Amino acid sequence: MCLKTSVFLIIGVVLCLSHLSSCQNWETFKSKHIRDSPINCDSAMNNSIFIIQNRCKRLNTFIISDPDTVQAICSRVPGRSNVTSPTSFQLINCIRNSDITPPCPYTSSDENSVICITCERTLPVHFVKVGKCSAAEQKHGLL
């Protein structure tokens, strides 16, 4: 019995690590993607939440908004589904220039667009992409 439990636990951890986005929650989403004012990509991205195994994340999109406005996108999604925001947001895309190990230099690009996010039990848990969710993404909640 203990061996079976250990095997399932190991499989669960491996699956979680192989697709980190499916292990996110609302608090993690807020930390990674929501800011109440414009940011400097170099300082924001050299935070430990964007460095995995001593490698800087290649790209991250920040939503310039208050958390309640972003959370409202998911207010009517009881299960897990990808949803396109009904309105545009001010976004800052931070793109790694070259180095892979910290501290990494980043370039920023600003835009206003709708966003596609994964909602789970009325909360945003994963930033899928800038722009509308595809029909397949909305139907299946694919990441």
Calculated CA dihedral for residues 110, 115, 120, 123, nearest 10 degrees: 60
Q: Which of 24, 26, 32, 33 is catalytic?
A: 33
Which residues have C-beta within 8 Å of that of residue 108, sequence separation ≥ 6?
40, 41, 92, 93, 94, 95
Whether residue 95 contacts residue 107, with contact meaning beta carbons closer than 8 Å, is answered with: yes
126 is catalytic: yes
CA dist list (Å): 10 to 20, 30, 63: 15, 28, 34
How far is the C-alpha of 39 from the C-alpha of 50, rounded, in Å? 15
Q: Which of 126, 128, 137, 141 is catalytic?
A: 126
* Catalytic positions, written as ranges: 33, 126
